[in-house]
Structures are given as structure tokens and as C-alpha cells.
Amino acid sequence: MAIATATQVSNPLPQADIANITGSKALLEALIAEGVETIFGYPGGAIMPIYDALYDYHDQLKHILVRHEQGGIHAAQGFARSSGKVGVVFATSGPGATNLVTGLADAMIDSTPVVAITGQVYAHLLGTDAFQETDVINITSPVTKWNYQITDAAEIPAVLAKAFYIARSGRPGPVLIDITKNAQLQLFAYSGYQKCNHIRSYRPKPIIRKEYIEEAANLINAAEKPFVIFGQGVILGNAEKEFTNFIEKGGLPAAWTILGLSALPTDHPLNMGMLGMHGNYGPNVLTNDCDVLIAVGMRFDDRVTGRLDKYAKQAKVIHLDIDPSEIDKNVKATVGVWGDCKETLPLLTQLIESKSRTAWIQRFKDHDAEENKEVIFAELHPDTPVMTMGEVIRNLNEISGGDAIIVTDVGQHQMVTCRYARFNQSNSNITSGGLGTMGFALPAAIGAKFGAPERTVVAIIGDGGVQMTLQELGTILQTEVNVKILILNNHFLGMVRQWQQLFHDKRYSFVDIASPDYVKLAEAYGIAAASIESRDQLNDALSKMYHHDRSYLLEVNVGKENNVFPMVPQGCSVSEIRLK
């Protein structure tokens, strides 16, 4: 007792808890405090002190060495999308940091929570064109939700707390923290980590106004032909259940943007399919026929709306979004309901009348039947000698049962996969929607598997996109992560070729792309592989890929000049969608 008292007297302040640690160590402590377990990254000169500290943390933080920083950030995005957590990526200064830019832009436009940590030259060298110095803060400002340069280690705990709070709250997005080398090395008095839950200048969620909910409910109740269109806001808000309750009570047919895909199971009777340029026939045509259009957590991208001045002009528009700047941005809302749809949807559900709207839903089914006759049946059950992408996806559905995480790249295969893949649960569709980043799928699939290790991850990629980030096969080799790679090879940059065929008189300008021998390539990386060309091999090959206990690459050679239909040509209205 006497000793304790003596101790207290000699330490009147709780300074016993304050230890001198380096900035690097404080950074790793911050990551642990934020629940981070997996980091994707690539070392280099200006981030070496952090990697040195990481050496002692290998049992708490798993670091995945990627083959290129772009692969690192796409993996962090895939991780975030499959797990719902913040993805973390490390890169060094200069080229390491600039290689992150595509992924940051992708995460920005697709609202993916990512924290990127970049090394930077010593503070005294800033602005001197030092070795591997780039002005990463200014380069990344337009493509980050927030960014900050740390030059003093004492800033690290508070800035990291802010970074994670900003990345994951409100409308999520990427945050970049640039840390000068001196700050990484610097010892400072560390008094622990405190999570951030408030920044006075930052409102992650607008305040919900009941009167707008009431107005919206009145519009829905008075509607004869209400139509719900939803996006990733439902997934990001963990509001799948609230959303389903809403449409079920109101008997509201619902269609999704490609980022909203998987929020509502494919089999749900109110799931009317996909919106937009290559979306389904009914949802596009009936957008210009509904009387009330209810947009939930989506942002009216031009690929969804087609020509804006002919978009849903007859309808009253209700727009639910967490980001106030999205309301009225592209489509003028009759009623803007600001707020997190997790909170606004239940309030709206309470006020709407329970209805079935059979006749209205039948209109969607009629359009569906026509689309099926004109497009879908031939795509899924072709009588052509060459395989179609659609039949590959149909076969995959039978094998996966709709339980896989499907990661797609960009182009024809992406549209076909989004149209035909089955999903039973949310957070299962990972694709580069807003930015359309070719090369996204392979690294994102690696990240997705780390984010959801218990699930099967299938990356579906075209022969163009896969050659953009092929180097990440090395990451698979080293980490032995179990990712299924399904290459749909049409020996063309297919989507561009389709446009050249339809809109440029078939002048095929640099879309004829050669591929390496993918089987040999995979084997060089220790990945089992096969390549098929005929339909009778398809089911067995897919099944073998799917059930293989390790990574597997399957190349399926499909029809060279197949097109994706339906299609809303650019500059046309959604109701001018073409079936062929």
C-alpha cells in the first residue's frame, strides 16, 4: 500500500501509460485498433520504416505482397466490397503512390471504403524534386474523399482515426494518408489510440425530415404504376432487409443498377432485373411508363438513364440518398429524401399501404417474355457451333447455385455476367461500375477472397482485361489464395468491337487482341488450368474449376463477334432500347 501511494505521488499524471514509440509503430497500432487484419501493399524506399515495424507485427497484421500497386488497391477494394470493412493498401512514394491513382478513382466513383497509406520523402525534402517525390496529395485530391499529409509522428493516431471514420461513414470512399519518412521514424509520446466519431465540419448523414418521408409515402400510395430502382446504397447501408420489406409491403417492382446487384436475390418475385444500357427490356421501357419512380441509393449514372431529357419525364421522382449532392444532380426529384436508407426505408415502409399491383408487375413479365424470346433464350441456349458468354454463365449458375462471389472486369463479359449470374446473398457482386477499370477483376478477386475466405470467389474476365493485371498471378502463387479465374476469350476487345460494328461501319480499329497461352502461363505460376472450345466440355470444365481445392484458371473460347443485347444506344432514351 505504501509503495502504491509512493508511486501515485511520484506520478501524479497518468504518464506511466505514455510510451515513446515511432510513428510507424503508432500507424500499425492504429490499424489494429481499427480492426484491420489484412493489408495489401508493396514496399519501397520512402515507406521502409513502416515495413520495418511491420516485421514485428506479422502475427497481428497479415500483409499481402502484390505485384503492382494498382493490384494492391484493387485488392483492397475487393476486400472492402466482400467484407463490408475498410480495405487497406500500402505503397511507397513517387511511382508507388501514382500507381494507386486508378484504384482511388475507382473507389471514389463506386463509393468503396479504402484507406491508402503512402510513404513520402523526408519533410525537409518536400518540394525539392527529391528521389521518388511526387505531390501525391494534389494528384489524388480529386479522386479521394479526403487526404492528408503527415509530417510529424504525433499526428498519426488522430489522423488515422479520422481517416477510418471518413472512409467508412456516410457515403464511403477512399482516403489517402501520405506520411513523410521522418514522421515514420520519429519517436513521440504515444498516449494510446482513440477512435473518431465526430468531425465538426463533416456531416456523414443528413438529418431525416419526416415531412419528406410523408410526401414520398403519399406519392407511392397514390401511384398506379410505381417503380423502384436501386443501387449500391442498399448494400453499403446494410439495408437489404429494410429494402425487401419496403418493396414487399408496397408490392413494388424493383430493378437494379450493376452496383446494386445482389442486394436483392435473383429469385425474388419483385426483382425485375437490370437497368441501363445493357439492362433488361422491361425495366428500361417501363421507366418511361411508370407514374412514380422511386430511386434508392443510386445516382442516375448516364449508363443508367440514357438520354436525360427523355428520362422518366412522365413520372414523379422520389430519390432516397445519403449524399445530398446526388439529389437533383442528374434527375430532378419531386421529393428528395435525404438520409441513410437503412433509416429512411423503414419510416417509409410504415407509411405505405400494403398492395400487390399484379397487373403492373405483369407488364414487366410481358416485356420479359419478349426479351426472352428475342435475346435471352438464344444467349443461354444457343444453337450456334460457338459458345456464347451467356451459356457459360448459365452453366456456372447451375454449379454455384448462386452462392459464389462473382468479380467481373469491364466489357461484354461484365454486362453478360451481370445480366445472367444468379445471386442469393448480398455483397456478392464485385465489379468496376462507375470508372469501368479494365484490369480490376483479377486483383479485386484476390482481395475479395481475403475479405470472405469462407466463400468461393470467381473472377470472370475478358481476354483484354486479364492482360492488364496479369502480374497478380504472382500474388496468387505466393499467397496460395484460392481464386477461380474464368477467362471468356472472344479474341477481341469485344465491347469496343461491338460499338465499332454498330456505330463505326465495322471499322475494327485496334480491337483484335492476341492472347498468350493462358494454360502455360497459369502453370508457370503453379496454378492449375484448362482451356476449352466446345460446348460438350463446358459443364465438366466449369465444375472442375469450381470444385478444385486451389486456384484454377479456365479459359473458355467463345464466339468472336457476339454482341450484348438489349442495348440502349448512346444518346437514345431508355425506351428506345434495342433488342437486336
Partner 1 sequence: MKQEYTITVYTENHIGLLVRIATIFSRRKINIESLNTSPSEAEGIHRFTIVIVETEEVVRKLARQIEKQVEVLKAYYNNNEEIIWQELALYKVPTAQIAEKVKVERLLREHGARAVVIRNDYVVFETVGHREETDRLVQVLAPYGLIEFVRSARVAIIKESRGFHEKLREFEQAEPMGELIENEFLNQQKEIFSM
Binding site for partner 1 (CB under 8 A): 137-138, 141-142, 145-149, 166, 197-203, 206-207, 209, 212, 323-325, 328-329, 336, 338
CB of 222 to partner 1, least distance (A): 20
Bin 160: left if φ > 0, else alpha if -120 < ψ < 50, else beta: alpha
What is the DSSP pairing of strand 226-230 with strand 254-256?
parallel
CB of 276 or CB of 339, closer to partner 1: 339
What's the grid cell of residue 144? Answer: 479521394
Which of 266/330 has CB closer to partner 1? 330
Distance CA 75, CA 479 (A): 13
CB of 212 vs partner 1, minimal distance in Å: 7
Q: Report residue 212 as a C-alpha cell.
A: 419528406
* Annotation marks residue 181 as catalytic: yes
Q: Which residues of 498-532 are buried (b: 16+ CB within 10 A; e: fewer)?
A: bebeeeeeeeeeebebebeebbebbeebebbbbbb
Instruction: State the cell numbers at 448.
Output: 475479395
CA distance 338 to 158: 29
Residue 193: CB minimum distance to partner 1, A = 19
Query: In the complex, what is the shortest distance from the CB of residue 332 to partner 1, in angstroms, rounded to a whole number?
Result: 9
Compute the C-alpha angle 565/490/261, nearest 5°: 50
In the residue annotation, 195 being an active-site residue is answered as: no
Any catalytic annotation for residue 387? Answer: no
Cβ–Cβ < 8 Å for 450, 405: no
Annotated active-site residue 132? The verdict is yes
| Alpha carbons 234 and 427: distance in angstroms, whole number | 10
Contact 315, 224 (CB under 8 A): no
Q: Residue 121 or 476: which CB sits closer to partner 1?
A: 121
State the catalytic residue, choosing from 29, 34, 40, 69. 69
Which lies closer to partner 1 via its Cβ, residue 5 or residue 197? 197
**Phi, psi values for residue 442, rounded to 5°:** -60, -55
Q: Which is nearer to partner 1, 203 or 381 (CB)?
A: 203
Minimum Å gap between C-beta 35 and partner 1 is: 22
- In whole angstroms, give the CA distance from residue 358 to residue 225: 10
Task: Tell me which of 8, 15, 60, 131 is the catalytic residue.
Answer: 131
Q: Which of 298, 415, 495, 545 is catalytic?
A: 495
Closer of 71 and 297 to partner 1 (Cβ): 297
Question: What is the distance between the alpha carbons of residues 418 and 431, in angstroms, rounded to a whole number?
Answer: 9
- Between the two ends of the chain, the Cα-to-Cα distance in Å is 88
Q: How far is the CB of 330 from partner 1 (least distance, A)?
A: 10
* Smallest separation, CB 339 to partner 1 (Å): 10
**C-alpha span between 244 and 278 (Å, rounded):** 24
Cβ-based nearer residue to partner 1, 34 or 215: 215
Q: Spot the catalytic one: 48, 132, 310, 478.
A: 132
Ramachandran region of residue 354, left (φ > 0), alpha (ψ -120 to 50) or beta? Answer: beta
What residues are annotated to the active site? Answer: 69, 131-132, 181, 495
